[in-house]
Amino acid sequence: MVVGGQIINASLPGSIDSKIDIFENSGDKRKPDAETKANSGKKARTDDKAPLYSGDKLIPERFAEMKRVPKIPNAAGPREYASTTNDERVRPLLAEMLRELMRLQKRAIEDKNTKAKRRMVMGLREVARGIRAHKVKMVVMANNLDQYGVIDEKLQEIIDLAKSEGVPLFFEFTKRSLGKAIGKSIKIAVIGIQNADGAHQPFKKLNAIAGRS
């Protein structure tokens, strides 16, 4: 509408159009609210096979597959795959052996002693690979690993390999307490012992206990 040579918006007060006009023409410099920012920062995911990232780093597909499978909350206590021993000596012997082997392995790394044999390997894939190569002599697996897809397949693979190769297998620790046993604050799923030099006595006793169980 033109009144006195000026164009006046004819929208009714309080209408949506008038609010839009006022906001656009008033020079309002207000920042978008938190919800708008959050929505604008989200990237649409069109399928379950979309790439996954850790920060700016692309997660390899073989690991991304594990992350996509929904976890099933564990019940309190050890899971059914974990058969703990009834010998009260086992846990202290394991803790002694793991602590000493970790100390020696860490010292070799700090001294850059490339000739020193690796004493332990960690992780489901590494331990399974070590058993197949006849390098792992003993396995300590957490008794409360998450229950889902790829994890269950890999832990069962390790159990089967250990039995077929005659490798002693212990389930005396949870993920958190297994991490603490080697002086770490993170959770550890499984440890494979490759070289027990420096902790031969507890290793020998544990082998004897495993042979009687």
Whole-structure pTM value = 0.65
The pLDDT of residue 88 is 93
Domain borders along the chain are 90-212
- C-alpha span between 175 and 141 (Å, rounded): 8
The residue that leads in pLDDT, 65 or 210, is 210
HEC string for the chain: CEECCEECCCCCCCCHHHHHHHHHHCCCCCCCCHHHHHHHHCCCCCCCCCCCEECCEECCHHHHHHHHCCCECCCCCCCCCCCCCCCCCHHHHHHHHHHHHHHHHHHHHHCCCCCCCCCEEECHHHHHHHHHCCCCCEEEECCCCCECHHHHHHHHHHHHHHHHHCCCEECCCCHHHHHHHCCCCCCCCEEEECCCCCCHHHHHHHHHHHHHC
Per CATH, the number for 90-212 is 3.30.1330.30
pLDDT in tens, 122-146: 999 999 999 999 999 999 999 999 8
The pLDDT of residue 121 is 96
pLDDT at 17 over 50: no
pLDDT at 33 over 60: no
pLDDT in tens, 66-106: 666 555 555 567 888 988 888 999 999 999 999 999 999 99
The region of weakest confidence among 29-43, 59-73, 159-173, 178-192 is: 29-43
